């Protein structure tokens, strides 16, 4: 009887991932076929500036490549890293972003 209660209680503790917007899924599918790197490419979800954002990282095949950041409405809100080493989006350092999950990776 006790194990049933523990099992039931643990089910309530599971954090459900938010659904990825359709437009982001479309961008991921495009990204898969247009990236030039064959290693390390990924798309990650973060919480940043009270919004869900998605970082499209092209991988590790070039030192000057940028990672584009999209909001959940698929608006590009900036680029990270690249030749300038940019770490700011909308004037705020992206180091304050909270990683939540990986959407896709190569």
Express each pLDDT in 63-82 by its tens digit. Answer: 788 999 999 999 999 999 88
- Quick one: CA dihedral 43, 72, 65, 90, positive or negative? negative
For residue range 42-64, list pLDDT tens digits in order: 999 999 999 999 999 998 887 78
Q: Show the tokens assigned to 41.
A: 């490419």
Query: Given the DSSP bridges, would you call strands 92-93 and 51-57 parallel, antiparallel or unpaired?
Result: unpaired
Mean pLDDT across the stretch 83-87? Answer: 84
**pTM (predicted TM-score):** 0.81
Q: Assess whether pLDDT exceeds 50 at residue 3.
A: no
Domain extents for the chain? Answer: 15-105
Identify which has the larger pLDDT, 2 or 48. 48
| CA–CA gap between residue 63 and residue 84 (Å, rounded) | 11
């Amino acid at each position: 009887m006790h194990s049933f209660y523990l099992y039931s209680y643990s089910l309530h503790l599971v954090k459900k991932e938010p659904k990825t917007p359709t437009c982001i899924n479309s961008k991921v599918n495009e990204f898969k076929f247009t990236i030039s790197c064959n290693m390390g490419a990924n798309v990650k979800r973060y919480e940043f500036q009270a919004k869900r954002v998605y970082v499209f990282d092209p991988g590790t095949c070039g030192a000057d490549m940028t990672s584009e950041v999209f909001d959940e409405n698929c608006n590009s809100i900036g680029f990270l890293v690249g030749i300038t080493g940019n770490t700011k989006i909308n004037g705020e350092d992206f180091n304050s972003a909270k990683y939540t999950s990986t959407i896709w990776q190569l």
